[in-house]
Amino acid sequence: DTAVSQTPKYLVTQMGNDKSIKCEQNLGHDTMYWYKQDSKKFLKIMFSYNNKELIINETVPNRFSPKSPDKAHLNLHINSLELGDSAVYFCASGQGSTGELFFGEGSRLTVL
Amino acid sequence: KQEVTQIPAALSVPEGENLVLNCSFTDSAIYNLQWFRQDPGKGLTSLLLIQSSQREQTSGRLNASLDKSSGRSTLYIAASQPGDSATYLCAVTVSGNQFYFGTGTSLTVIP
């Protein structure tokens, strides 16, 4: 049973296209996150949702739009993709009381 | 703003050696600290979570300590094995929902 699953695992696309990454967690957590890991392996938070409500929105271009239909799902849609968007995007979930984070396997996005 | 630093950036040790990875953070008002392991092409796996009121946590050959006042944590790995080769990251929580990650230490254990 995969605790945090995200799809697709790999995404190769042209500049200017729109793409989505889906994430689902079956841990019953209230909070879900999107992180971006750059080529130097640094992890930076992008968004955080708690019970379907946006609570953290770091300095991310508005081409990135998260959507949470329910607390078990947090999807990421990216419009007008740019070369600099190439990275690995990680979904994570956690329960606020303990703060322990659980990560998905990552989605590697390559923009050509 | 919280900054998390890990030293060294890379470490190579022979199998069987004990080793220490370091993590430092600038703001001591943390909720907890978590150590993760990341294998190439994979997500992060949680190793140990230390709450702000705790001093250390142990799991098997791993022991993590926390000194909030000095802004430091260490991850001690005993009797290292080639399977321990991975990147190790620490992260601090400044609230229940905001995590800051370190830059990671890439560990290679040589058979």
Mean pLDDT, chain B cut into blocks of 10 residues (111 residues total): 91 96 94 93 92 94 96 97 97 81 95 95
Q: Is B46 on the interface with A (CB under 8 A)?
A: yes
DSSP label of A106 = -
- A4-53 tens-digit pLDDT: 999 999 999 999 999 999 999 999 998 999 999 988 788 988 988 888 88
**Beta-carbon separation of B103 and A42 below 8 A:** yes
Q: Tell me how far apart the alpha carbons of residues B90 and B97 are, in angstroms, rounded to a whole number.
A: 16
At which residue do the structure tokens 């909070």 appear? Answer: A31
Q: Is the peptide bond before B8 cis (omega within 30 degrees of 0)?
A: yes
- State the pLDDT at residue B96: 58
SS3 A83: helix
State how far residue A12 is from chain B, nearest Cα, in angstroms: 16
- State the pLDDT at residue A98: 66
Who's near B54: CB < 8 A, 6+ residues apart? B66
Structural tokens at position B60: 């098997």
Please name the member of A48, A92, A99 whose beta carbon is closest to the beta carbon of B31. A99
**Beta-carbon separation of B99 and A45 below 8 A:** yes
- State the pLDDT at residue A57: 74
Taking Cα atoms as reference points, which of B10, B33, B19, B17 lies closest to residue B105? B10
Task: Yes or no: say if B35 and B93 are a contact pair by the CB < 8 Å rule.
Answer: no
